[in-house]
Chain A
Amino acid sequence: GDSVTQMEGPVTLSEEAFLTINCTYTATGYPSLFWYVQYPGEGLQLLLKATKADDKGSNKGFEATYRKETTSFHLEKGSVQVSDSAVYFCALSDRSGGSQGNLIFGKGTKLSVKP
């Protein structure tokens, strides 16, 4: 079945450091890919998405490129801020494989940014 694997955390960085959170997926069809963010005490909210190969999603300085050849969707940010401290979830949505478009999540990566 479809699955998402993302790097385990926690990840601790200093302010203005470069961030990469790795995400790879397995899917039977042509999925859409998402990054969701969960700030402390809140629900998840969409950070960015890409719906086809080579698409780049971007938002709030974060970027991720849909790489079909490596089945990856790594999240990057050039200069993190303390306010980026949160848990980040990679997810896919695939019509094939019986999932009917449901979101399949990775386990999440906790990011802590120190001043």
Chain B
Amino acid sequence: EAQVTQNPRYLITVTGKKLTVTCSQNMNHEYMSWYRQDPGLGLRQIYYSMNVEVTDKGDVPEGYKVSRKEKRNFPLILESPSPNQTSLYFCASSPNGQGRIGYEQYFGPGTRLTVT
């Protein structure tokens, strides 16, 4: 089944404890992206990747890191999480590489992160 998977689905952690949220897609998509969803703010893009070894900042990259060593994986890293990073996180992928538009993005089920 074609899908985007994220792990973990739920995570409660403490301020400053490094964590990684994994994202994997099995559709051979070039483009991958991370979003956070907060009440009243909708979805905001954190980072995106047009292809392997190519990553770029989105609208809210502060406090996050990403890497794209393989086409299928795009982990989101919080080196020193803070309470304002408490949010619902979504990974997405798309055949949309090299700036082509009009392609659907496929979303993972989400990771609910709480930082205390």
CB distance from B37 to the nearest CB of A (A): 8
Q: Would A43 and B42 be within 8 Å (CB), given that A101-B99, A102-B48, A102-B58 are in contact? A: no
Interface range for B: 20 to 34
Whether A95 contacts B101 in the complex (CB less than 8 A), given A89-B43, A105-B42, A105-B43, comes out as yes
Query: For chain A, which range describes its interface: under 10, 10 to 19, 20 to 34, or 35 or more residues?
Result: 20 to 34
User: What are the interface flags for B42-63 relative to A under an 8 Å C-beta threshold, 1 for contact and 0 otherwise?
Assistant: 1101001010000010100000
Given the known inter-chain contacts A89-B43, A105-B42, A107-B41, please indicate yes or no for A43 contacting B102, CB distance below 8 A: no
Q: Is A63 an interface residue (CB 8 A)?
A: no
Nearest to A50 among chain B residues (CB) is B102
B75 contacts chain A at the CB level, 8 A cutoff: no
Q: Closest Cβ of chain B: how far from A26's Cβ, in Å? A: 15
Given contacts A43-B107, A43-B110, A45-B107, contact A102 B45 (CB under 8 A): yes
Q: Is B33 positioned at the interface, with any CB of A under 8 Å from its CB?
A: yes
Whether B104 sits at the interface, judged by CB under 8 Å, is yes
Answer whether residue B74 sits at the interface, using C-beta atoms and an 8 A cutoff.
no
Asked if A42 lies at the interface with its beta carbon under 8 angstroms from chain B, I say yes
The interface residues of chain B lying within 8 Å CB-to-CB of A43 are 4, 90, 107-110
Q: Which 10 A-B pairs have the closest CB atoms?
A: A43-B107, A107-B42, A32-B102, A101-B101, A93-B101, A44-B107, A51-B102, A105-B43, A46-B104, A100-B99
**Residues in chain B within 8 A of chain A (CB atoms):** 4, 31, 33, 40-43, 45, 48, 50, 56, 58, 90, 92, 96, 99-105, 107-110
Can you report 28 residue pairs joining A to B where beta carbons are below 8 Å apart? A31-B101, A32-B102, A36-B107, A42-B109, A43-B4, A43-B108, A43-B109, A43-B110, A44-B92, A44-B105, A46-B104, A49-B104, A51-B101, A93-B102, A94-B101, A95-B100, A100-B56, A100-B99, A101-B31, A101-B96, A101-B99, A101-B100, A102-B33, A102-B45, A105-B43, A106-B42, A107-B41, A107-B42
